[in-house]
Structure 1
Amino acid sequence: MEEKFVIQGGKPLIGEVEVRGAKNAAFPILTASLLTKETCVIDNIPLIEDVLKMIKILEQMGAKVSWIGKRKIEINSSKVKPSKIPFNLVGCFRGSILLLGGLLARFNKAKIPSPGGCVIGARPIDTHLDAFKQAGVKVYPEGRFYRFEKKKQDKSLEIVLKEISVTATENMLLFAATNPKKTVIKIADQDYQVQDLIKVLKKMGVEIKHSGVRELEIIGKKRLKGFKHFIMYDPIEAGTFIIATLATKGRVVIKNAELSFLSLFLKRLKDFGANFEILDSKTIRVLPSKKLKIDKIQSLPYPGIHSDLQPELGVLATQTKGATMIHDPLFDARLRYLNELNKMGADIIFCDPHRAIVYGPTQLQGIEMPISDLRAGAAMIIAGLIAKGTTVIHNVYQIDRGYEKIEQRLHQLGADIKRRVGS
């Protein structure tokens, strides 16, 4: 049965909330367990659909997984077989692309379908394919599948990514982890999930250093150790609660917030007139702001403002005075959510697929809407929280892919939001 969120807007968020583990850090760390035959212990696992699906994929491939705590697993991949990869699950979400690096590093071969994920425009895997080809991997397109074969001899490699890509950087890190010769990755991403993966690979015995601007140097080992690791907290989820509190003019203390990865985001919020206090390195208190004025929202690779937070900032812009330029150069359909905001009464003009201008402030009105991707879903929840009347959001499974029981946690902060089953 379809599930939906029903929101009665107009209530400020008040209280305390704790951020969960980072979804996008969990994927490569789970994949890293493929690189060793030793047992790995992974803690702070976010209990969300995509991460649990990734664990299920590893289990179906032969990994032994034991839950030893609410968010903690032991995983042993000594009996994993690439031939057992469940294509029906792998094709469902984009994080599964990271299996490539792990499987090729250990087994020298892999076959996967084109991965799924959020509908936010063209997201080809060309950058991954190009990087693997540079590394000497043979790539064979076979219908909707790709088959990969790696030469068994090790050699020094220099891989220049054709664009800054989080998952391509992670795939190359995983791929290089078992190569005892030096691998250099240029145009490497440096975002939070890449940094967390690097910590794990170092625990396994891989030597990694930053050798230049967006450049990583890796010297791997044939036999890697098991590891124990606590997945970092999700800075995107922290950003979501910060924006939701500002939009509703609430008072919320957000704990487990990885603020070091939100430096520019927080700096720009201050520029906009946001009222908040940094209590310590992982705690922020967000307070009502008298006047917000946003001139421009531009998403860029780290250390820029994350594209995942752009839709939520777009909702906030509808409540601020004047014109706000939104520019997302990364994804050509990331601005689709603005169509729903216009239906709610916002005043937004599209310039092109990557740019739009929001005029505010406007009183949003609750409507019934579907959502097509995870981050648009989070943005529409915030829109519903500040709208007049009832907002109904369908396709909430998209939101469940990235946020753990978001409606329960917002309800604890005073939001009138309920999950309903049925049409």
Structure 2
Amino acid sequence: MARLLIEGGHRLCGEVEISGAKNAALPIMVAAALAEGESVLERVPPTTDTLIMARILRELGVTVAFLPEGACAIDGTRLRHHRAPYSLVRRMRASFYVAGLLLARLGRAQVPLPGGCALGSRPVDFHMRGFERLGARVTVEHGYMVARTGGRLQGRPIYVERASLGTTVNLMLAAVLAEGTTVLENAAREPEVSDLATFLNRMGAQVEGAGTDQIRITGVDRLRPARHRIIPDRVEAGTFLLAAAITQGEVVLHGVNPDHLRAPLRKLEEAGAQVTAEGPHQLRLVMEGRPQALEIETAPYPGFPTDLQQPFVSLLSLARGTSVIRETIFDRFRYVDELRRMGARIRVEGQQALVEGVERLTGAPVEATDLRGGAALILAGLAAQGVTEVQGMEHVDRGYHRLEAKLNRLGARTRRLDPDRPSPNHSPVVLLES
């Protein structure tokens, strides 16, 4: 199990380049396989999740190659297998996106019910009901979703339950090659959906309304390859802003879209941070003193993002006063027990956490059980007195590329221990003093 040692108490200062968005890259990688010919995607972060997606696509017959400087070339010409590999799909929730691809291109799909972070029940029933509305016959057999069409899918109006991001994406992938028009009502509005629509339209699709709660998709006969640059990762950007805030530091983020961060930026300012946009793709954060307590409620975009709830709780564990955090998307408080080991005072009541700020945290051995919970523990370790050992760094690798290396360049002191294999994020760093 990979571990990260963190010597806390070092103020983070400097500049950092934000990676392409993992959550945008995954569906766009799948979308590229809708066309015959080579598409080139720029700024695909080589995280564990994107590497797994590449392996899944290759198993289906798609050609995938990672190019220098973060580009990825994908050619769907030889897509021929309709059965996705269980051993890979079970590791990542977003791998279920290949179901939309396979139904659109091959008219049949056999995809395992997926895995991913332990965030409570996230059923794919919404996806399957949507495929049925498009004319597919769908069953669940031996742990697989099995779906077939009698020809092309047929466009229909579909209501997306809970404004589900995954359902919106999968139905977009399926509908672009369907016959007729599909209208997704109550669609997810996340920037990642808009980025997918931009790429699909470059391929020759007809997608309108992405970024609103109604997306209209007029099916076309075929798509062509295209070139596209992935949007910045808003969650990674938020994580680095919080890293500066929790260490009372000052950082400048490059390659970021401030419009995608409006809700978390407002909360950072309420907490006492000074945040300024120094250009269309640049943000500066300065934090002096302890943060102020906040009330936060997660919500679908453009509300406060659930992926930043856990890192924000680390910041608020050091705030003046008591903060209230309501989680409305997932069951996402498993990491709280680990923060308590570091001295945080947090009480969870159902889907609400009460965080009574303390003056200091102390280093301790802790374990990450999911991606964003792991990020929260790393942030707490940056501010804690002494050394924190975060186990389970393989979870963090799913969504952050070279996180510890970027933190060290800002003045953090971390060292990664990975006895089994070099991580895609591994880099030599300064040794911690004993």
TM range (shorter): over 0.9
In structure 2, the residue matched to 1:382 is 379
In structure 2, the residue matched to 1:345 is 343
Q: CA deviation at 1:212?
A: 10
Q: CA deviation at 1:223?
A: 1.1
| Equivalent-residue separation in structure 2 for 1:317 and 1:85 (angstroms) | 42
Query: CA separation of 1:309/1:141 partners in 2, compared to 1, >3 Å: closer, same or farther?
Result: same
| Equivalent-residue separation in structure 2 for 1:250 and 1:314 (angstroms) | 18
Which amino acid is 2:370 matched to?
Answer: D
Superposition map of 1:51-66 within 5 A: 51-66=50-65
In structure 2, the residue matched to 1:392 is 389
Deviation sequence 1:307-328 (CA, Å, 0-9, x none): 0000011011111111100111
In structure 1, the residue matched to 2:20 is 21
- Between 112-121 and 73-82, report the one with greater CA deviation: 73-82
Q: What SS does the aligned partner of 2:122 have?
A: coil
Q: CA deviation at 1:407?
A: 0.7
Preserved CA contact (<8 Å) 2:189 2:212? no
In structure 2, the residue matched to 1:365 is 362
| Equivalent-residue separation in structure 2 for 1:375 and 1:309 (angstroms) | 7
Asked if 1:87 corresponds to 2:81, the answer is no
Preserved CA contact (<8 Å) 2:134 2:153? no
Q: What SS does the aligned partner of 2:334 have?
A: helix
In structure 2, the residue matched to 1:275 is 274
| Equivalent-residue separation in structure 1 for 2:239 and 2:60 (angstroms) | 34
Preserved CA contact (<8 Å) 1:345 1:362? no
- Between 369-378 and 156-165, report the one with greater CA deviation: 156-165
Asked if 1:152 corresponds to 2:142, the answer is no
5+ residue gaps, structure 2: 421-434
Asked if 1:102 corresponds to 2:118, the answer is no
Preserved CA contact (<8 Å) 1:346 1:362? no
Preserved CA contact (<8 Å) 1:62 1:84? no
Q: What SS does the aligned partner of 2:253 have?
A: strand
Asked if 1:33 corresponds to 2:32, the answer is yes
Query: CA separation of 1:154/1:400 partners in 2, compared to 1, >3 Å: closer, same or farther?
Result: closer
In structure 2, the residue matched to 1:46 is 45
Asked if 1:205 corresponds to 2:204, the answer is yes
Q: What SS does the aligned partner of 2:163 have?
A: coil
Query: CA separation of 1:30/1:212 partners in 2, compared to 1, >3 Å: closer, same or farther?
Result: closer
Superposition map of 1:263-302 within 5 A: 263-302=262-301
- Match among 403, 408, 412 for residue 400 of structure 2: 403
Q: What SS does the aligned partner of 1:20 have?
A: coil
| Equivalent-residue separation in structure 2 for 1:235 and 1:63 (angstroms) | 29
Q: CA deviation at 1:154?
A: 4.9
| Equivalent-residue separation in structure 1 for 2:155 and 2:82 (angstroms) | 28
- Between 62-71 and 137-146, report the one with greater CA deviation: 62-71
Which amino acid is 2:292 matched to?
Answer: K
Preserved CA contact (<8 Å) 1:297 1:313? no
| Equivalent-residue separation in structure 1 for 2:144 and 2:106 (angstroms) | 18
Q: CA deviation at 1:290?
A: 3.6
Preserved CA contact (<8 Å) 1:347 1:362? no
Query: CA separation of 1:154/1:295 partners in 2, compared to 1, >3 Å: closer, same or farther?
Result: closer
| Equivalent-residue separation in structure 2 for 1:220 and 1:101 (angstroms) | 14
Query: CA separation of 1:339/1:409 partners in 2, compared to 1, >3 Å: closer, same or farther?
Result: same
Q: CA deviation at 1:133?
A: 2.0
Query: CA separation of 1:216/1:253 partners in 2, compared to 1, >3 Å: closer, same or farther?
Result: same
Q: What SS does the aligned partner of 1:239 have?
A: helix
| Equivalent-residue separation in structure 2 for 1:169 and 1:419 (angstroms) | 37
In structure 2, the residue matched to 1:184 is 183
Q: CA deviation at 1:211?
A: 8.9
Q: CA deviation at 1:204?
A: 1.2
Deviation sequence 1:154-205 (CA, Å, 0-9, x none): 5330111122111110001101110241100011001011111000111111
Identity %: 34
- Between 113-122 and 301-310, report the one with greater CA deviation: 113-122
| Equivalent-residue separation in structure 2 for 1:414 and 1:153 (angstroms) | 56
Q: CA deviation at 1:230?
A: 0.8
Query: CA separation of 1:281/1:137 partners in 2, compared to 1, >3 Å: closer, same or farther?
Result: same
- Between 255-264 and 182-191, report the one with greater CA deviation: 255-264
In structure 1, the residue matched to 2:229 is 230
Total equivalences in the alignment: 420
Preserved CA contact (<8 Å) 1:260 1:281? no
Query: CA separation of 1:122/1:84 partners in 2, compared to 1, >3 Å: closer, same or farther?
Result: closer
- Superposition RMSD on alpha carbons, in Å? 1.6
Asked if 1:115 corresponds to 2:114, the answer is yes
In structure 1, the residue matched to 2:418 is 421
Which amino acid is 1:348 matched to?
Answer: I
Q: What SS does the aligned partner of 1:62 have?
A: coil
Q: What SS does the aligned partner of 1:254 have?
A: strand
Deviation sequence 1:46-69 (CA, Å, 0-9, x none): 011110111122122222233442
In structure 2, the residue matched to 1:196 is 195
Q: What SS does the aligned partner of 2:369 have?
A: coil
Deviation sequence 1:34-92 (CA, Å, 0-9, x none): 21112211111101111011112212222223344231122211111124633211221
TM-score, normalising length: structure 1? 0.96
Query: CA separation of 1:186/1:404 partners in 2, compared to 1, >3 Å: closer, same or farther?
Result: same
Q: What SS does the aligned partner of 2:162 have?
A: coil
Question: Moved runs in structure 1, 4+ residues, more than 3 A?
Answer: 153-156
Query: CA separation of 1:313/1:154 partners in 2, compared to 1, >3 Å: closer, same or farther?
Result: closer
| Equivalent-residue separation in structure 1 for 2:124 and 2:324 (angstroms) | 29
| Equivalent-residue separation in structure 2 for 1:397 and 1:31 (angstroms) | 23
